[in-house]
Amino acid sequence: MSRQVFEGLKVVGFVQAGVGPSTLKVLNDHGAVVVRVESIHRPDNLRLAYPFQDNIPGINRGGHFAFANNDKLSMSLNLKHPRSRGVVAKLLEWADILVENYAPGVMARLELSYEDVKKINPSIIMISLSQQGQTGPHSLLPGYGPQLQGLAGFCELTGWPDRPPSLVSRSYPDYIAPRYGVIALIAALDYRRRTGKGQYIDISEYEVSVHWLVPAILDYTVNRRNQSRSGNRCPYAAPHGAYPCRGQDKWCVITVFTDEQWKAFCRVIGNPEWTKGEKFGTLLARKRSETELDRFVGDWTIEHTAQEVMTMMQEAGVPAGVVRDSQEVVDYCPQLKHRHFFWELYHPEMGRVTNRGPSFILSETPAELRKAAPCLGEHTQYVCQELLSMPDEEFIELLNDKVFE
């Protein structure tokens, strides 16, 4: 059996909420040893966030925490305790990579800036992911994904022209930075393999979010035009929308780009009178009467379930897809099952939890999820003795001195 990709790679995380753990996740899903440093005095907010398993709050029962933190080790350490410094040094000597996503300034206050960390391990690779970057006049501004999506420009581009801006899910930008974080980390690892040199990486969630909107940015820098929300329209396709189907709040997306798809679409819906003649025969004609077109399409789709609409359209070669909710995505989607996207893991307090794998499958060394998210401090002893080779006496002494809290 092939080794896992990141077997032997040692990672320390001073992380919280979503971005840091998600960046680490690609590494631990592919075999890296990832140690999170936590403390009961300042638990990760995500451990305290609703929803909780069985609706019973608890520091080891948080759903979001469990979802982001599979296959990570949790070491409990009181960073304010003077003797924690020695333990931290051992961790940094051990580690290849340090990932952190605290607000800028926090790591420096903990004497864990890159300058500090480099003194202990000169070739370490350290990455900081923060809302707006480590430098600049707004670097210290607190914020989360929901605010950032407004600042980054997603809200302006989401919703209806006759309505105020709307939201893309809730913390949408939080899912962008982890991808760039992983890409940057592995590139830096490769550079180190070639040159022996570590380095520091500074990622701004704001900046990478702007990267997902570049066509709109260029429309401004080149044409001085501010793109805005356009509902579900596409400049070069019609019909292009989400159409109401049978049932409560059920929708199916239908998108028609070519004459062939249009003819197939008409065939599927029975070649009704309204599709004949000039009014809807060409793309330009359909664009001119798009509101009416959408109404006609909706009058047909409402007679069917979303699944029926998708099936009929797909069989005819028309791009169409059910607007799925999370229940359908998790419990039903046959394609995600085929890809083994979801994994069931066993958690000592929560019982069975659902996690997800990556969106890419490597042919030789696919990801493997093994253990559910850790309870706080679950692996303190393991990390100290097995990973850091701390002698028993030292560990017990530190334990009694309340360093591991």
Q: Which residues are catalytic?
A: 174
- CB atoms under 10 Å from CB of 385, counted, come to 14
Residue closer to other proteins by CB (options 24, 87) is 24
13 vs 30: CA distance, rounded Å: 16
Per CB under 8 A, does 317 bind other proteins? Answer: yes
Residues 170-209 that bind other proteins (CB under 8 A): 170-172, 175-176, 179-184, 186-191, 193-195, 197-204, 206-208
Query: Which of residues 236, 273, 278, 284 is near other proteins by CB under 8 A?
Result: 236
Query: Which of residues 147, 305, 307, 385 is near other proteins by CB under 8 A?
Result: 147
Residue closer to other proteins by CB (options 13, 178) is 178
> Which residues have C-beta within 8 Å of that of residue 345, sequence separation ≥ 6?
70, 352, 353, 354, 355, 369, 370, 371, 372
113 vs 119: CA distance, rounded Å: 10
Per CB under 8 A, does 388 bind other proteins? Answer: no
Least distance between other proteins and beta carbon 282 (Å): 17
**DSSP label at 237?**
B
**DSSP label at 274?**
G
Per CB under 8 A, does 58 bind other proteins? Answer: no
Query: Six-digit token pair at 173?
Result: 């930008």
End-to-end CA, the chain: 39
Q: Which stretch binds other proteins (CB under 8 A): 71-79, 152-160, 274-282, 391-399?
A: 152-160
| Amino acid (one-letter) located at 34 | V
Residue closer to other proteins by CB (options 47, 90) is 47
Query: Six-digit token pair at 172?
Result: 């949408």
**Contact pattern from residue 67 through residue 96 relative to other proteins, giving x for each residue in contact according to CB under 8 A and a dash for the rest:** x-----------------------------
Residue closer to other proteins by CB (options 218, 396) is 218
Query: Which of residues 12, 322, 383, 387 is near other proteins by CB under 8 A?
Result: 322
Per CB under 8 A, does 240 bind other proteins? Answer: yes
Query: How open is the CA angle 206-212-214, to the nearest 5 degrees?
Result: 100
Q: Which stretch binds other proteins (CB under 8 A): 154-162, 274-282, 385-393, 396-404?
A: 154-162
Query: Which of residues 10, 106, 143, 246 is near other proteins by CB under 8 A?
Result: 143
Query: Which of residues 59, 81, 144, 307 is near other proteins by CB under 8 A?
Result: 144
Per CB under 8 A, does 210 bind other proteins? Answer: yes
384 vs 393: CA distance, rounded Å: 12
Query: Which of residues 212, 296, 343, 382 is near other proteins by CB under 8 A?
Result: 212
Least distance between other proteins and beta carbon 8 (Å): 9
Residue closer to other proteins by CB (options 85, 211) is 211
269 vs 202: CA distance, rounded Å: 53
Per CB under 8 A, does 368 bind other proteins? Answer: no
Tokens 């592995």 belong to 186
Q: Which stretch binds other proteins (CB under 8 A): 72-80, 85-93, 105-113, 320-328?
A: 320-328
Query: Which of residues 82, 215, 270, 277 is near other proteins by CB under 8 A?
Result: 215
> Which residues have C-beta within 8 Å of that of residue 358, sequence separation ≥ 6?
26, 29, 30, 367
Nearest in space to 376 (alpha carbons), one of 404, 334, 338 = 404
Query: Which of residues 218, 276, 292, 370 is near other proteins by CB under 8 A?
Result: 218
Per CB under 8 A, does 390 bind other proteins? Answer: no
- CB atoms under 10 Å from CB of 52, counted, come to 20
290 vs 274: CA distance, rounded Å: 13
29 vs 154: CA distance, rounded Å: 30
306 vs 324: CA distance, rounded Å: 9
> Which residues have C-beta within 8 Å of that of residue 129, sequence separation ≥ 6?
19, 20, 23, 99, 100, 101, 177, 178, 181, 203, 205
Per CB under 8 A, does 43 bind other proteins? Answer: no
Residue closer to other proteins by CB (options 157, 383) is 157
